[in-house]
Amino acid sequence: MTDLGISNEKHIVIYDDKNGSNACARFWWMLKSVGHKKVQVLNGGLNYAKENHFPLSSKKEKIKIGSEIYQIDSWKLPTIEINELENLSQNPNYLVIDVRDKDRYDGRFEPIDLIAGHIPGTINIPFTENLDENGFFLKPNELKKKYETILGEIKIENTIVHCGSGVTACHTLLAFDYAQLTIPKLYVGSWSEWSRNNKKIETTL
């Protein structure tokens, strides 16, 4: 962070060209996790910027590096490990959300990992459902209503989100935050770890 010229007080705006679903949301989550206060994601990403004639450049940017070392004191956001998740995934007081697309969850198709399917006890809410038809996040009140309905009586602190490798899951964590809801736990290892460790796997086929 220091080498990028970023200090603890900098206001950071992050974007990608995948509607926030690629490294963008993951980097936002990482910064939030280390307590960075001023960090936002550009809704609509690079495509929105292009369509609205934001000035763009292909030149290498010159970074002004200050003398202040970026400070990280502690990790702020909750995560969960594979064995703890195995014990909780089918507990009725917990909710595990798989944000991959339905075909991967169902076990029909797996483009990245060795095995298709899902973790027993999880529900499927693809991260793409956080977006409208134009690639923008749904309005905060819509996202809040959507996830509060899904959670029902489940506490947010008992909610766990995962994807294939712990990246696109952060898109749903961002959606929770945008809706002014508490950010759930992230299963960082996600399906890539689960499917490689002889854990039980289910399909809907």
CA 175 vs CA 23, 111, 139, 152: distances in Å: 15, 25, 10, 17
**36 neighbors 8 (Cβ within 8 angstroms):** yes
User: What contacts 129, CB < 8 A, 6 or more positions away?
Assistant: 146
Q: Which listed residue (80, 97, 99, 163) is catalytic?
A: 163
Instruction: For residues 5 and 21, give the distance between their C-alpha atoms in angstroms, rounded to a whole number.
Output: 25
CA 89 vs CA 66, 85, 117, 122: distances in Å: 46, 6, 15, 7
Q: Dihedrals φ, ψ of 127, to 5°? A: -60, -25
Instruction: For residues 37 and 32, give the distance between their C-alpha atoms in angstroms, rounded to a whole number.
Output: 7
Q: Is 170 a catalytic residue?
A: no
Which are the catalytic amino acids?
163
